[in-house]
Structure 1
Amino acid sequence: MRLQRVPARTGWLWVRQGLRTFARQPLAMAGLFFMFILLVSVLAMIPLLGAPLALALLPAATLGIMAATQQAERGRFPMPTVLASAFQAGRERARAMLLLGGLYAVGSLLVIALATLLAGGGAEGLTPGEDGRPRLDDPVLLRNLAWQAVLYLPLGLLFWHAPALVHWHGVHPVKALFFSFVACWANKAALAVFILGWAAVFFAVALLLVLLSSIVGGATLIQALMFPVASLLSAAFFTSLYYTFRDSFVHDDGTPVA
């Protein structure tokens, strides 16, 4: 297996491929995405250990969506069990995925803690609104979110391809993190186009909803449609992640790795 460099325009191709495959199996892909979100949300409600457990399962759940995309592209209907693909490839790879998940949870918690420190304090530094919740215009909250975005970027690059490398190719989790970062850096132009492409899709759909609501139903319609439409687009985004991996690595003979 070796790294494959792709041109920047491939990023937009990944967006189109994700949308196309999602359109082939919208019920299956949306259903799997909602199951993924529900599982993570339920785990996060468990006191103390819930949030770390939810974070630790994210790499395996993302791999499950990628495996479902692979099946959908091949004309098969992904069943709910595909979400557990990371733990169905043998004991050794299941342990490796759990280790990868643990590393992701630790990394995410470190990002949150460091962002809070750099932002100038924790929850006690936030200005509550009338409902007792932090105000969205609070400078501490805004600095915290900004630092999280900056610090999460290298973490995201480390884990972008790592679950697929561990699951499909048996790469050790630490090596998978290294290979993932190198592949993302080598194809940074394509990934930038990919992210910008998806941002454009979300913006275009949001603009369409605003225009539709101004013609048909006012603010009530957009409030009713925004969450389900955003959820479907998020499911399509996760569907497209498979293609970023498939085109970033090839076997030594040039054939796709997944």
Structure 2
Amino acid sequence: MKLHLVPARTGVEWVRLGLRTFWRQPLAFISLFFLFMALISIAAQLPLIGSIVAPVFLPFMTLGLMVATSVAQDSETPKPVAPAMFVAAVGAMRGRWRPMMVLGIISAIYFVAAVGVSALIDGGQLARAYLLDETVTPEIMAGSDFQTARLLVMCLNLPLSLAMWHAPALVHWHGVAPAKSLFFSLVALFRNFTAYAMFGLSWFGVFMIAGIALGLLATVLVAVGAMAVGDSASMLGGALMIGCALTLAAMSLSSTWFTFRDSFDPD
């Protein structure tokens, strides 16, 4: 395995391939994404340990969607491939569950450490809310210290997100050790920075266009609801916005496998 350097325009191509592959099997991708999100949400609701356990499942979700994408992309026939996508995703997670668990534990430890650092700013209010399920009043949430602590946690988690970008795929397809996979993932993103920058900008453009379209649709539904059926149309508009946001998230994750495929040379 060696790193493959790609031109900046490849980032746009990754987005195009992700969109095309997603629309081959949209229901399968959405179902997989919702299934993983449901598992993570259930884990997050566990008393006291939920916020620590939930990050453990993130590498499994990344790997499952990347494997599903590889199956959908390889299938050029119009026959349904959704069952094969589910089987491949489950098989990949079962076959590499130990190193995936190591990646998940690393993610959880890093998250707890990042939240702990935020206590230096707000006195531990954010940490108690995230880690101990302590109720935070609206006044505290609106405070500058709390908002600064949240921003700090987001910034501290960015390196982890970059390190986890390719780590599950490197473990699964190339048998790289978990710690090394995190390092190689960071190297790939920085060496191909322009391509990944174009990738991010392209998806930002897709989200912006979709957001404008959904905003217009929600406005129309709210207006119709105010004139005809009360709050039902407003509720429908809100549900539509949430559903489309989750669909866009699943759509963006369907392009992650292409970034891995083109960034690492299997030879």
Structure 2 distance, partners of 1:119, 1:200, is 34
Q: Does 1:233 align with 2:248?
A: yes
Structure 1 distance, partners of 2:48, 2:12, is 41
Secondary structure at 2:48 match in 1: coil
State the shift of 1:33 in Å.
0.2
Correspondence 1:1-258 to 2 at 5 A = 1-75=1-75, 76-77=81-82, 78-89=84-95, 93-114=96-117, 116-123=118-125, 132-133=137-138, 137-215=142-220, 217-218=222-223, 220=234, 222-252=237-267
Preserved contact between residue 158 and residue 180 of structure 1 (Cα < 8 Å): yes
Structure 2 distance, partners of 1:2, 1:27, is 35
Structure 1 stretches of 5 or more lacking a match? Answer: 253-258
Q: Which amino acid aligns with 1:197?
A: S
- Percent identity over the alignment is 43
Structure 1 distance, partners of 2:180, 2:69, is 25
CA-atom RMSD in angstroms: 2.3
State the shift of 1:200 in Å.
1.6
Secondary structure at 1:88 match in 2: helix
Query: What's the counterpart of residue 256 of structure 1?
Result: none
State the shift of 1:226 in Å.
0.7
Structure 2 distance, partners of 1:213, 1:124, is 33
Structure 1 distance, partners of 2:87, 2:28, is 12
Q: Which amino acid aligns with 1:123?
A: Q
Task: Write out per-residue CA displacement over residues 141-184 of structure 1, whole angstroms, 9 at most, x where no aligned residue.
Answer: 32123212221221112111110001111111111111111111
Give the TM-score, by structure 2 length. Answer: 0.83
Preserved contact between residue 29 and residue 235 of structure 1 (Cα < 8 Å): yes
Structure 1 distance, partners of 2:126, 2:106, is 28
Preserved contact between residue 69 and residue 242 of structure 1 (Cα < 8 Å): yes
Change (3 A) 1:171 1:119: same
Give the TM-score, by structure 1 length. Answer: 0.86
Change (3 A) 1:246 1:190: same
Structure 2 stretches of 5 or more lacking a match? Answer: 76-80, 129-135, 224-232
Structure 2 distance, partners of 1:39, 1:137, is 30
State the shift of 1:136 in Å.
5.9
